[in-house]
Amino acid sequence: MQSAHEGRGFGKDRVNLLIDLGNSRLKWAQQDDGLWRTGAALLEAENMAPLLDRVWAEMTAPRQVIVCSVAAARRLQTVEQWLRARWSIAPRIVHSQARQLDVTNGYREPEQLGADRWAALIGARGLTRLAACVVDCGTAVTVDALSSSGVFLGGVIFPGLRLLRGSLVQGTQAIKTVEGNSVDCLARSTADGVAAGTLFGLAGAVERLINEYRRTLGDTTQVLLTGGDAPLLAPRLSVAFAPVPDLVLRGLARIADSL
């Protein structure tokens, strides 16, 4: 899916181009004072260059490019090569650090934290000074705890919907399809059972983790929900949350403003 904003020029002023390169989707934002335009595209082909030619065809040269990537190295390399060939710009690649801006990384080895999780935490800190639970529903689901003082206390990683459903097809003989209806957990077909079971199960796991985190973070903890599958998960959650679909990009914007 692509947003209505993609592929347009945005005037003569040079803006920041923020790129979130994931396992299954490319997301970006053009950012400057008073400007926030986003776009997204699915990563379906191995060769990304034609996709970039299409979605960024009319984009004007940015002031700087900030990239967060958890994709295969070859895909990041393609983006870097495209940016150099098109605009003669070398992007700044975001890596997790022990501390950046007002966020402290509590990982035993800070550099091992995924760059997307790090950017999301920085984005969350820009949205609230309360403790936060960041739920990112992508190819993998991450649930991370951020204290009110800006310390990342830790988090978990587990398979997202596509991986959960795909594993059932690959690991069993009887399940051949997962294209079912996820509305009712009292499913009356195998496909519906897989679709509903994985979605309700994912929602239950997320809620359990939020409740566990609140024992440490406190009852005022804000839950921020992001990621490509967040709209599917949101109706199944019984806890209060704030949807922030571009949270990683918001973090990249804060990083760009600090450079």
Residues annotated as catalytic are 116
Please name the amino acid found at residue 204. G
Dist. CA 93–CA 203, nearest whole Å: 32
31 within 8 A of 14, measured Cβ to Cβ? no
Count H helices, E strands: the chain? Answer: 7, 12
Dist. CA 116–CA 111, nearest whole Å: 12
Q: How far apart are the two ends of the chain, measured CA to CA in Å? A: 31
C-beta atoms surrounding 84 within 10 Å: 12
DSSP state of 93: E
Dist. CA 5–CA 41, nearest whole Å: 12
